[in-house]
């Protein structure tokens, strides 16, 4: 067994002191930072928090094993969080076992943070009955599939050797495990005893209730366990000190936090339902930060070359159902993807949309820290080449034995009308397929629940789907399309693709891994399984007098090191 010991967590402690932590408790004296990252919380349950606003709040209240950061070269790295050290050991098959030694720390009610708090939280995340959108984060952990198939979460290879030692066994190498899984909001620790009190059905006790108790339970069963926000027990740098429903949440530095924050002593999250409302708070001086810019400000920033916009971690795409006899051949699938004018579709989608250059969106880092999409556009968006692509599509359709698109019959395209351009995109798609291939496609708007059900059951032909990765790594955009993946909504099966993803999972060499990632993406698009249409960009605004903001590539913000800019 080959042993590789990672002391980066210890060695980077000094670097961490320069950014987030230094000395003992307390923030910058008297500093109260007010921010608006979005609307009132939809969920402060770590495994269900989807919005960047909710994840931003959670990352200040809880602390994971590691904290995401950047090294001296600007590359993404992971530094010590609850884990004061992390060691890895690789077996002969390339599977890695990580051992985390936890620092001495307390929950906000004074109890010790233990390794079992992580075991419980990760088992809860992986449990299929929970139906967390982030469960697949743990698909790289050994025993994940077996645990989900059997319902026995003890099969997940996450264990506590003792209160301060956590062991995680992976089914490969996965160089993004530390930077993405161990820093995610979804994998943050939770107290088993408190959760079983809040969610009594999880305790396994079958207790009889009186009529009065049953009525009381019925009245409150709609309220989630985190609804009493002021009573949350957390282990992060801040703890809730005040909460006004639908208005604001205030967090103060946790006095027993193991490190000192150089940023705000109190942090107030003010809620706004729209970007326009948030911007009004900023202009009025009520907040010093907004996490989402209104369309007018996005347009101004897009026109100002001195200001930048950041690509979000998702790609809107057409997914073709390979289980349909019609689409069991790559040549037929390719005909539909070749005639897509992504420039026109991005324009229809709205101001924040950009024509996709591949499945992996811009700004996702490659193995060496550079952007994965740099000089690697897979999709040709040159308007001068569009006519040739349409001609190629018609030729492929003829070679497949169809005399024009009419031979494919009537097709249906499902999409969710989110009010942000999806309807206009659907209309434009149907026109392209009709005009360039004489293909009859009807667009039908459905609810998110209806679309999810159709994708899960395979009862669709074409669907518009926002493909959002669970982690900021190219592999996470490619893993769902492996033939045995439970997320393979396209029902795609290709042994060559599966082999590439297997090589990527166990790769020890970053250069080789990067090459395989690009090859896998190219193969997937060449097969016409998924047709990327556009990505979206976002922007935010911090008052010029402040500095030290951190934005994670997954979309959430960290304010723990925000300070007044020195003159």
Q: Supply angle C-alpha 396, 397, 402, rounded to 5.
A: 145
User: What CA–CA distances, in Å, run from 562 to 149, 390, 433, 485?
Assistant: 45, 51, 50, 41
Kindly state whether residue 33 falls inside one of the protein's structural domains: no
Task: Identify whether 224 is part of a domain.
Answer: no
Q: What is the pLDDT of residue 205?
A: 39
Residues 6+ apart with CB under 8 A from 479: 136, 139, 485, 487, 501
Please state, in angstroms and rounded to a whole number, the distance separating the CA atoms of residues 86 and 178.
9
Asked whether residue 497 falls in the same domain as residue 524, the answer is yes
Look at residues 157, 183, 201 and tell me which one is the last residue of a structural domain.
201
Measured CA to CA in angstroms, residue 417 lies from 445, 465, 468, 487, 559 at distances of 6, 11, 17, 22, 34
Question: For residue range 495-507, what is the model confidence (pLDDT) as tens digits?
Answer: 999 999 999 999 9
- 227 occurs within a structural domain: no
Residue 11 domain-assigned (yes or no): yes
Looking at the structure, do residues 98 and 158 belong to the same domain, yes or no?
yes
Shared-domain flag, residues 380 and 397: yes
Given a contact cutoff of 8 angstroms between Cβ atoms, the answer to whether 292 and 51 are in contact is no
Binning the chain into helix, strand and coil, the percentages to the nearest 5 are 35, 20, 45
Is residue 437 domain-shared with residue 470, that is, in the same domain? yes
Question: Domain boundary at 157, 178, 201, which?
Answer: 201
> What's the CATH code of the domain at 250?
3.40.190.10
Are 145 and 184 part of one and the same domain? yes
User: Which residues, including other chains, have CB under 8 Å from residue 83's CB and lie 6 or more apart?
Assistant: 9, 65, 66, 100, 101, 102, 103, 166, 182
Cα dihedral value 145, 146, 152, 158, nearest 10: -70
The CB density around residue 52, as the number of other CB atoms within 10 Å, is: 22
For residue 228, being part of any structural domain is answered with no
- pTM (2 decimals)? 0.89
Q: Is 514 contained in some domain?
A: yes
Whose tokens are 């003992």? That residue is 24
Claim to verify: residue 518 and residue 544 sit in the same structural domain? no
Residue 492: CATH number of its domain: 3.10.105.10
- Same domain? For 259 and 317 the reply is no
DSSP-assigned letters across all residues of 209-233 = --HHHHHHHHHHTTS-TT-SGGG--
Which residue range is the domain that position 293 belongs to? 236-305+540-564
Whether residues 385 and 455 share a domain: the answer is yes
**Residue in 159, 158, 164, 161 with CA at minimum distance from that of residue 103:** 164
Clarify whether residues 404 and 530 are in a common domain. yes
- 221 pLDDT band, cuts 50/70/90, is low
DSSP string computed for 501-526? HHHHHH---HHHHHHHHHHHHHHHHH
Q: Based on the structure, what is the number of domains in the chain? A: 3
Statement to judge: residues 194 and 276 lie in one domain: no
Segment 297-307 mean pLDDT: 83
Q: Are residues 276 and 391 in the same domain?
A: no
- My answer on whether 384 and 430 are in the same domain is yes
Express each pLDDT in 514-549 by its tens digit.
999 999 999 999 999 999 999 999 999 999 999 999
Alpha-carbon span 555 to 186, nearest angstrom: 14
| The pair of three-digit structure tokens given for residue 511, joined into one six-digit string | 């250069």
Residue 13 banded pLDDT, cuts 50, 70, 90 = very low
**Structural domain includes residue 29:** no
The reply to whether 450 falls in a domain is yes
Read off the tokens for 378. 């897979």
CATH number of residue 117's parent domain: 3.90.76.10
Is the per-residue pLDDT at 466 higher than 50? Answer: yes
The pLDDT, as a whole number, for residue 297 is 93
């Amino acid at each position: 067994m080959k042993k590789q010991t990672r002391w980066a967590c210890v060695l980077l402690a000094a670097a961490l002191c320069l950014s987030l932590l230094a000395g003992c408790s307390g923030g910058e004296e008297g500093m109260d930072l007010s921010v608006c990252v979005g609307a009132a919380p939809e969920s402060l349950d770590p495994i269900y928090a989807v919005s960047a606003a909710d994840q931003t709040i959670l990352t200040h209240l809880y602390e994971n094993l590691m904290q995401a950061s950047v090294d001296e070269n600007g590359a993404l790295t992971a530094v010590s969080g609850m884990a004061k050290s992390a060691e890895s050991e690789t077996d002969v098959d390339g599977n890695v076992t990580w051992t985390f030694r936890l620092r001495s720390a307390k929950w906000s009610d004074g109890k010790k943070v233990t390794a079992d708090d992580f075991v419980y939280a990760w088992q809860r995340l992986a449990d299929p009955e929970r139906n967390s959108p982030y469960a697949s984060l743990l698909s790289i952990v050994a025993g994940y599939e077996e645990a989900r198939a059997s319902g026995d979460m003890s099969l997940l290879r996450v264990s506590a050797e003792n209160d301060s030692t956590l062991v995680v066994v992976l089914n490969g190498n996965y160089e993004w495990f530390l930077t993405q899984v161990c820093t995610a909001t979804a994998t943050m620790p939770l107290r088993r005893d408190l959760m079983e009190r809040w969610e009594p059905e999880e305790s396994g006790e079958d207790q009889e209730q009186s009529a009065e108790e049953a009525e009381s339970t019925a009245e409150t069963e709609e309220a989630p366990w985190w609804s009493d926000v002021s009573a949350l027990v957390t282990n992060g740098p801040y703890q809730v000190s005040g909460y006004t429903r639908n208005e604001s949440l205030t967090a103060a530095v946790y006095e027993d936090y193991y490190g000192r924050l150089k940023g705000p002593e109190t942090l107030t999250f003010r809620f706004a339902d729209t970007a326009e409302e948030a911007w009004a708070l900023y202009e009025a001086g009520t907040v010093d930060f907004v996490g989402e810019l209104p369309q007018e400000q996005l347009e101004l920033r897009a026109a100002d070359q001195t200001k930048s916009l950041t690509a979000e971690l998702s790609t809107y795409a057409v997914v073709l159902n390979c289980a349909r006899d019609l689409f069991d051949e790559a040549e037929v699938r390719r005909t539909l993807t070749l005639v897509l004018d992504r420039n026109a579709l991005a324009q229809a989608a709205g101001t924040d949309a950009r024509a996709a250059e591949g499945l992996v969106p811009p700004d996702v880092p490659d193995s060496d820290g550079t952007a994965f999409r740099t000089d690697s556009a897979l999709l040709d968006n040159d308007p001068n080449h569009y006519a040739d692509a349409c001609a190629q599509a018609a030729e492929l359709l003829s070679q497949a034995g169809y005399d024009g698109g009419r031979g494919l019959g009537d097709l249906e395209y499902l999409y969710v009308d989110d009010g942000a351009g999806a309807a206009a995109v659907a209309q434009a798609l149907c026109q392209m397929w009709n005009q360039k291939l004489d293909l009859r496609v009807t667009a039908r708007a459905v609810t998110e629940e209806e679309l999810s059900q159709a994708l899960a059951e395979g009862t669709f032909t074409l669907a518009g789907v926002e493909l959002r990765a669970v982690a900021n790594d190219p592999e996470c955009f490619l893993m769902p399309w492996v033939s045995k993946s439970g997320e393979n909504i396209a029902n795609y099966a290709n042994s060559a693709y599966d082999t590439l993803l297997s090589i990527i999972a166990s790769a020890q060499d970053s250069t080789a891994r990067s090459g395989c990632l690009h090859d896998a993406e190219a193969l997937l698009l060449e097969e016409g399984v998924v047709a990327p249409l556009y990505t979206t960009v976002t922007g935010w605004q911090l008052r010029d007098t402040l500095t030290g903001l951190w934005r994670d590539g997954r979309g959430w913000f960290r304010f723990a090191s925000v300070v007044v800019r020195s003159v």
